[in-house]
Structure 1
Amino acid sequence: MTVTTRFLVELKSAAEAAKVAEGRFRREAAVRIAALEQERAFAFRRLNLMQAIAEAMASAESEEIAVASAFATLRTRLGWNSDSEARSEVIARFGQVVLAIFRASDKEESANDIPEALAGFERWYAETRGSPFWLVFERQMQDTPRVDF
């Protein structure tokens, strides 16, 4: 093998190694971007849901009315027009979050109870359902046929 041939083989090997390294990096970056994208989506879903629930509960004159308002908001946001055993279980568990919000409205020392209750609910949901709660918001819209008159 000539010096030139050996040199070209080395360049080819270096080029192939660079190609492999780039491909690996792109796959790792895609995985990380997808994870960050999901984190962002979940964070905004969490914010939007909790903001809507807090607003629904704000004018409630009693715990009973606050809880009913929160549950109605939760059902609306999730598109749950009917109940099932699984949905009722989710709503009942979410009740801990609602109660934490209601109880914290008057007491500053109870403010830490809200994130703890929400994290506990999210943990319970993930353990029992096998996926994050926030994926429930990714329901697919059914195709509606287009009709021209």
Structure 2
Amino acid sequence: MGQLAISVFINRSQQDVFDFLSDPANLSKWSSAFESAEWTSNDTPGIGSTYRVSANLFGSRKEGLFEIVQWDCPNCYSYKMNARAFPIERMESTITLRPKNDGTQVNFESQFELVSALKFAEGFFAKVGEKQDGKNFNVAKGLLEAG
């Protein structure tokens, strides 16, 4: 199983950061992999809510379905991938937010499993993902801090 972790300080309130990061409609604004995303469940977001994404992964367009598995507004949320998107077999990620110095400390942790033929590359995949997700979270930081 591959793992990656990212931490970034965002100079905005915890609620503002949670609202922005947890809304799938914002994903394409701050994450270079996502072309679009939207809630597929009609209820208020929470455990069991789902959203669909369209992403560009390794040069090819992928569709994905994610489910919220933990929802503690404005402190933490977790989601898992419900539909396999080659080369990822399984993935679950958690975003934790804590107040810090009049802003918010954001910690992102993700665990994933690649398809069996590519398991040997999970370490490399984690390094590449950590680098790219680090850039993405810095884009979110810039957008949120710009107001």
**TM-score, normalised by the number of residues in structure 2:** 0.28
Bigger relative contact order (CA 8 A; separation at least 6) = 2
Greater share of residues in strand: 2
**TM-score, normalised by the number of residues in structure 1:** 0.28
Greater share of residues in helix: 1
